[in-house]
Structure 1
Amino acid sequence: MARKTTTEVLAEMVAAVMEVAVSPGDEVAVGDTVVLLESMKMEIPVLSETGGRVLEVRVAPGDVVQEGDVLVVLSA
């Protein structure tokens, strides 16, 4: 039986969450924007590095995230 793998999409810097572009159950492809962050008046799209189904969204607009925080969990 194959093991199910998950991938965590992480914040790369301290930033505010402007928009969450996915919901649990959504399918994403490599390069899709999953979250839009704002830092120092710049919009920073966070892209999926793998394709899969969104299992969890751990942030909401207005949240402040730290470097390394998990934003979204994907199932491969």
Structure 2
Amino acid sequence: MTVPARADIVGNVWKIVAREGDPVGIGDTVAILETMKMEIPVVAPAAGHVSRILVAEGQIVQEGDPVAEIDATLSA
């Protein structure tokens, strides 16, 4: 089962923290958005492995946009 890690706010993808294949736990930071000079983490909604990164650093994302996919069938 693949679960998307979604942006909680409109912002610029400042930094991608996780890479494809990295293990993550619930709440681990996958990427960091920058908006109004604040850094907002995008966190993994489930434990597993990052199967795909869907954005690039510098890209603008909207609230609810998927930033990465987490394969929750594999344990972290």
Query: What TM-score do the two structures reach when normalised by structure 2?
Result: 0.89
User: Which residue number in structure 1 is paired with residue 32 of structure 2?
Assistant: 36
Q: Are 1:63 and 2:51 an aligned pair?
A: no
Larger Rg computed on CA atoms: 1
Q: How does 1:8-27 map to 2 (within 5 A)?
A: 8-27=4-23
Alpha-carbon distance in structure 1 between the residues aligned to 2:25 and 2:62: 25
Identity %: 43
Cα deviation, residue 42, structure 1? 0.4
Letter in 2 for 1:20: I
Which contiguous aligned blocks of 4+ residues in structure 1 show a shift greater than 3 angstroms?
Answer: none
Unaligned stretches of 5+ in structure 2?
none
- Aligned residue pairs total 72
Instruction: Output one character per residue of 1:22-69: Cα deviation in whole Å (capped at 9) or x when no partner.
Output: 111111011211000001110111111211011100111100001111
C-alpha RMSD of the superposition: 0.8
Cα deviation, residue 12, structure 1? 1.4
* Structure 2 counterpart of 1:52, from 34, 48, 51: 48
Query: What TM-score do the two structures reach when normalised by structure 1?
Result: 0.89
Alpha-carbon distance in structure 2 between the residues aligned to 1:48 and 1:55: 12
